[in-house]
Amino acid sequence: MAYVKTRDGTDLFVKSWGEGRAVILTHGWPLAADMWDAQAMALAKAGYRAITYDRRGFGRSGQPWSGYDYDTFADDLADVMQETGATTDATIVGFSMGGGEIARYMSRHEGKGVVAAGLVSSVVPYVLRTNDNPDGVPEETLQQIADGVEKDRAHFFRNTFFPQVFGVGFITSPVSEEVLDMTTGTALHAGLWPTLAAAQAFGHTDFRPDLPAFRVPTLIIHGTADKTVPIDASARPAARAITQSQLIEYDGEPHGLNATASDRLTRDLLTFVGA
């Protein structure tokens, strides 16, 4: 099954690898399903069905004008689960902005069919710095991201955003130049409007009201050196608010730990799902 048609008619590109109990993985901004390939392959080899898909507006999916809000993103996840038959005993895991889809699915769709959840480098519970969220990201920083995308997104992604995501420094880098090139290329497959609209959504959606809906075991993984989504505004408060949560902090790892700590992330996911 290459594509799923959502309830509003948008085509979403879907990859389904392996057979067994479903593990659905939602990707980060501004990437696509392929960011999960290493983990999806390991899950499939371990006897699970790994399902990944390109969010609307990104990768190989359709690029409608509307629907770049978390209610719609959660409905898209529900449609992918329904159309792929992953409606019982499923584990759903979200990376970065994809964590918001997990949170909103748990509340909006009451966690239907889900037995476990995961939040990796996630934006949950709230990215934006406010008076009652002092550890969040300043509005000016979020605006700088939008301005960089609008002005010259190829340059911004390759030379500013992804180096920060992967913790690239002046002297050392945990990822190769080719990884930076590949992720930039993936990001440029997304439409300009979806890229901007999705950034607005993940930067300004408050998921704190969604957290009580997590009533299943929940794995939370986050790097302590994450400068994109600071751990004190995300994983730590999420872990305190989600009753059945397990927080694993990756000491010194940046936001893009799917690449910088890929093997460790794979092992922790496999352990969590019971492989």
With contact defined as beta carbons under 8 Å apart, do 25 and 40 qualify?
A: yes
Catalytic residue, candidates 54, 107, 255, 268: 255
CB atoms within 10 A of CB 140: 8
The DSSP result for 12-50, as a single string, is EEEEEESSSEEEEEEPPTT--GGGGHHHHHHHHHTTEEE
What type of residue sits at position 269? Answer: L
CB atoms within 10 A of CB 42: 21
Catalytic residue, candidates 226, 234, 245, 268: 226
226 in catalytic set: yes
3-state secondary structure of 233: helix
Could you give the CA distance from residue 32 to residue 12 in angstroms, rounded to a whole number? 11
CA distance readout (Å), 275 to 23, 33, 154, 226: 12, 22, 39, 28
173 in catalytic set: no
Phi-psi bin for 131: left (phi > 0), alpha (psi -120 to 50), beta?
alpha
Give the torsion through C-alpha atoms of 233, 37, 13, 107, to 10 deg.
-30
Could you give the CA distance from residue 257 to residue 265 in angstroms, rounded to a whole number? 8
Catalytic residue, candidates 61, 75, 79, 96: 96
Give the torsion through C-alpha atoms of 117, 121, 122, 127, to 10 deg.
160
Could you give the CA distance from residue 185 to residue 95 in angstroms, rounded to a whole number? 19
Residue owning tokens 């872990």: 239
Q: Where in the sequence numbering do the catalytic residues fall? A: 96, 226, 255
